[in-house]
A and B are shown apart, each in its own frame.
Chain A
Amino acid sequence: MSRAPTLSQDPGSPLRLLPVGEEPGGDVSVTGLGEQELRELYRLMALTRRADLESTALQRQGELAVYPPLIGQEAAQVGSAFALGSDDWIFPSYRELGAAVVRGVDLGEYLHFYRATWHGGTYDANEHRFGYVSVPVGSQILHAVGYALGSKLDRKPVVSLVYFGDGATSEGDFHEGCNFAAVFKAPVVFFCQNNQWAISVPVSEQTVAPIWRKAEAYGFPGVQVDGNDVLAVYVATKEAADRARADGVPTLIEAVTYRMGPHSTADDASRYRPAGEAERWKGLDPLDRYRAWLSSAGLADEAFLQQIDEEAGAFAAKLRADVIGSGPRPVEEMFEWVFAGDLPPHLARQREEALGFASDRSEEDGGADG
């Protein structure tokens, strides 16, 4: 019960399909993916890498208020999101730009959150089945459980997948969500990106038991997977989603990965990260590993790689243009969507005041104080 039937492994040796160093890889045919899809995974990871780097650069240039880089976690995000059906829901935390890329979310709209122009971004979560950024650590886990329970009550074959980090496993919402899902047989995939650090606290000081083994306490399978191996992540997630869909059995996946950047652009990782650690993980870079395997398997030649590189460049350029081209929302929107329908009297009065001052302010802004 504690482990997935086909993914059993010893602690400390997570599921892996791609070779690493001298260790050979596993049987990639278990992915069931065709050549097109195998190449598509690379494309999505490459777009994610470039969009992530561009977002960090935009923050450094003052175009974003803050940004949490995901560099190093592309395989974990792309492999897992790619394994879901198009009707399945994704509940992200705040570092899942890669999963947003898989879901086709417009990144200019997504980055409104980090440009501080709108809390949820401006994309339509319903259209992409990709929820809004959730900042309070682990809090979105419960929403995924509720959504999964709701789809089960509707007899819909819809699974929800929730992303969270190693730090979130210390939150009560993680425990409550896992327990609740198990009791109700809610079709959820709990996807933990263990990127080794919760801001400055290493996972060894966050929790003692291996994360994947916590599943046993709730009575559903736990899986540890090489989070920098996009194919292993894909297989683990696909199996978990299939099991959730068929039997209402949740799965806890621990994707062992590494946050190659800081927690956010406001962080200085050099204050706590041991020297040399990031360099060691650089040898496990998920894009490098997958590119090497694709090439050795004869699935990616120079022309393909160059074409992807060009597309990623254009993708990042569009993101940059969209971000820079977007301004603050009109002040009226501060009062929109607090409630449905007409504003209640107390808010109507406040809106009137704000708009009155805002029009005064815009005149001032045009003047010397601008």
Chain B
Amino acid sequence: MAAPMAEITMVKALNQALRDSLADDPRSLVLGEDVGRLGGVFRVTDGLQAEFGTERVFDTPLAEAAIAGVSLGLALAGWHPVAEMQFDGFSYPALDQVISHIAKYRYRSRGRQSAPLVIRIPFAGGIGAAEHHSESPETYYAHTAGLKVVAPSGAVDAYHLLRASIADPDPVIFLEPKSRYWAKEEGTLDGNGALPIGRARVVREGADCTVVTYGAMVAKSLAAADVASEQGTEVEVLDLRSLVPMDLEALASSVRKTGRAVVVHEAPMTLGVGAEVVARIVEDCFDYLEAPVLRVTGYDTPYPPATIERHYLPGIERILAAIDRVVGY
């Protein structure tokens, strides 16, 4: 029986996904800094330790490399750890473990061992935070072979994608757009609508231009599309949802239809996900293109102080300007 539709937030959806996975998979574990007693600084793990006990849900010492490396050891012992990095900017001490070992274990061992674990990272900006709390590290992970990289944009997707990530036999970097944590969405969280990793979604159909995006920028792009529509341009918004593997088919299918594309993300422009998306479009859709493909992204600066972050993050006006350029080309 389907649960009734309700207003849910991404925090609530992620919490439910962890709860359901802990209940369904007796080998799953939740670990990280402040995830136990406190329930996480964003409350994503709220109540889980009380429900599942301190052996299934536990606080770790403040040591990100250890959280990642110990999670790998737990995985080798047959557990399915879901580790939390408290913030994007604090995930870097763990990069050696992620890149040198977690991503390579299946390969190195010729499939005899693997790292079925999830590393959750609240990511990106727009919440008025201090330095190190607003970064978009997705390219570091997406550029590392052996990792899957997932970045949901809304609550229901977040629920299904986190459940799929925990069930996945390979390591998944799960990026949670923290500026969307508390946005409300109408939907249900149950077994229906299970969502595999690697499928993009057309969240808004349109014939004139495709906006390719993910995470918090999906909402921003939809808002821009609404404005464009009032001005007579119908924008299709494609939410990638998974950066690795990327849904190349959905990407090509949308751009072949519209002949125009703009990529939007918060991460800096140079060598960002947008560069990959543009390259794929050129490779797969060149004959269909009516205009150059543009990128609207964060700038190639360190993430700026919060009081000026609105000038750094792609906003509706910047997205509209890019749409205007490609449509008017």
Contact = CB atoms under 8 A, between A and B. Distances in A.
A180 B113 contact: no
A344 B55 CA distance: 35
B246 interface: yes
Nearest to A127: B112
Given A136-B96, A150-B78, A145 B69 contact: yes
B169 A149 contact: no
B245 A346 contact: yes
Contact of B108 (A132, A149, A150, A341): A132
B8 interface: no
A119 B108 contact: yes
Interface in A213-229: none
Nearest to A160: B73
B76 interface: yes
A146 B110 contact: no
Contact of B76 (A146, A340, A341): A146
Interface stretch (B12-20, B98-106, B158-166): B98-106
B320 to A, nearest CB: 31
Given A151-B77, A339-B170, A143 B114 contact: no
B134 interface: no
B70 A139 contact: no
B72 A142 contact: yes
B76 to A, nearest CB: 5
Contacts of B72: 142-143, 146
A337 B107 contact: yes
Interface in A120-172: 120, 122, 124-126, 131-132, 134, 136, 139, 141-151, 153-154, 160, 172
Interface stretch (B38-46, B60-68, B262-270): B60-68
A346 B252 CA distance: 13
A173 interface: yes
A120 B114 CA distance: 13
Most chain-A CB neighbours within 10 Å: which of B65, B79, B114, B246? B65
Given A119-B108, A126-B112, A173-B69, A345 B79 contact: no
Given A150-B73, A179-B61, A136 B106 contact: no
B74 interface: yes
A176 interface: yes
Contacts of B249: 345
A348 to B, nearest CB: 10
B70 A180 contact: yes
B107 A147 contact: no
A177 interface: yes
Most chain-A CB neighbours within 10 Å: which of B65, B68, B108, B110? B110
B254 interface: no
Nearest to B107: A337
Contacts, number: 137
Interface string B88-122: 00000100110011001011111111100000000
B248 A145 contact: no
Interface in B111-148: 111-114, 145-146, 148
A315 interface: no
Contact of B110 (A153, A160, A336): A336
Interface residues of A, number: 44
Contact of B104 (A119, A124, A173, A344): A119
Contact of A147 (B60, B76, B108, B145): B76
A90 to B, nearest CB: 12
A28 interface: no
A346 to B, nearest CB: 6
A346 B248 contact: yes
B113 to A, nearest CB: 6
Contact of A144 (B73, B107, B244): B73
Interface string A302-343: 000000000000000000000000000000010011111100
B100 A136 contact: yes
A122 B110 contact: yes
Contacts of B113: 125-126, 132
Contacts of B145: 338
Given A180-B61, A344-B198, A345-B249, A143 B107 contact: no
A180 to B, nearest CB: 5
B143 to A, nearest CB: 12
A293 interface: no
B71 interface: yes
A189 to B, nearest CB: 14
Contact of A339 (B96, B106, B108): B106
Nearest to A150: B77
B106 A340 contact: yes
Interface string B52-64: 0001000011010
A183 interface: yes
Contact of A150 (B65, B76, B107, B198): B76
Given A125-B112, A149-B74, A345 B248 contact: yes
Top 9 A-B residue pairs of the complex, sorted by shortest distance between their CB atoms: A146-B73, A142-B69, A150-B77, A344-B245, A146-B70, A176-B66, A120-B108, A340-B169, A147-B73
17 contacts: A131-B76, A132-B113, A139-B69, A143-B69, A143-B76, A146-B70, A146-B72, A150-B79, A154-B78, A173-B66, A176-B61, A176-B65, A176-B69, A179-B61, A339-B148, A340-B106, A346-B248
Interface of A: 118-120, 122, 124-126, 131-132, 134, 136, 139, 141-151, 153-154, 160, 172-173, 176-177, 179-180, 183, 333, 336-341, 344-347
Interface of B: 29, 55, 60-61, 63, 65-66, 68-79, 93, 96-97, 100-101, 104, 106-114, 145-146, 148, 169-170, 198, 244-246, 248-249
Given A144-B73, A146-B74, A338-B145, 8 more contacts: A125-B113, A139-B96, A146-B77, A148-B73, A150-B76, A173-B69, A176-B65, A180-B63
